[in-house]
Amino acid sequence: MSESSSGTDVSGGGLNKGLGTVEVRLRWDPSPMGEPDNDLDLVAAVYDADGGTAYLVHFDSRSPDGTITLTRDSHTGQGFGTDEAMKLEFDRMAEAYTRVVVGVVIQQNDGRKPFGAVQNAEVAIFRGYDELAVHDLGTLGGNTAATVAEFVRPEGESGWEFRHRLRGFDAGPDDFPGVMGKV
């Protein structure tokens, strides 16, 4: 398992208006002609104050309250710009939720494919037009899943904080949700 971190954490508490709405954007290049498609997916896990998983948001789903939505979903990486995008509306999220972890997992339909085999895989996190982080997923080499961001609501505060969390895992789509929230 590899782990790296860059930049500084961003706070949404105090006199700051908070994180509000954040967008996570994922892009990658299509696989070479004749090879199985590169299919990467954004996943968000929402946790309650006790650390339990409240719910997951992934392809073909959204949060029960509509605060986390997958606004773009690609199975191939074809097209220009962003291939997948997820919108997180922290200013509308219920106080019962205190932590959200966002990750990326590669579908393993045609044999094992790690990040190192996917060209130009990159995730970027934005608050409005402000770029909070950009991660080159190719640096995770042999890993097949990764956490890319953690958002926490400190106890007793209404605002959310963003924490850089680029951490690789050797886990498939079925196993990743169970390990992505472990610190």
Beta bridge partners, 43, equal: 103
Q: Considering the domain boundaries, does residue 183 fall inside one?
A: no
- Shortest CA distance to 133 belongs to which of 121, 119, 123? 123
Confidence check: pLDDT of 74 > 90: no
Confidence check: pLDDT of 4 > 70: no
List the structure tokens of 102: 């966002």
Question: What is the predicted pLDDT for the residue at 30?
Answer: 75
List the structure tokens of 25: 């954007």
Q: Considering the domain boundaries, does residue 182 fall inside one?
A: no
Give the structural domain span for 161: 3-175
Question: What total number of domains does the chain contain?
Answer: 1
Q: Which has the higher per-residue pLDDT, 182 or 82? A: 182
Q: What is the CATH number of the domain that holds 161?
A: 2.60.60.30
10-60: pLDDT as tens digits: 544 444 456 899 999 999 887 777 887 788 899 999 999 888 899 999 877
Other C-beta atoms lying within 10 Å of the C-beta of residue 77: 21
Dihedral in degrees, nearest 10, Cα atoms 17, 7, 132, 74:
-140
Confidence check: pLDDT of 153 > 60: yes
Q: ∠ at Cα 121 (115, 127), nearest 5°?
A: 125
Q: Considering the domain boundaries, does residue 96 fall inside one?
A: yes
Question: What is the predicted pLDDT for the residue at 125?
Answer: 96
Q: Considering the domain boundaries, does residue 115 fall inside one?
A: yes
Q: Considering the domain boundaries, does residue 10 fall inside one?
A: yes
Q: Considering the domain boundaries, does residue 181 fall inside one?
A: no
Q: Considering the domain boundaries, does residue 123 fall inside one?
A: yes
Q: Considering the domain boundaries, does residue 121 fall inside one?
A: yes
The predicted model gives 142-156 an average pLDDT of 91
Confidence check: pLDDT of 75 > 90: no
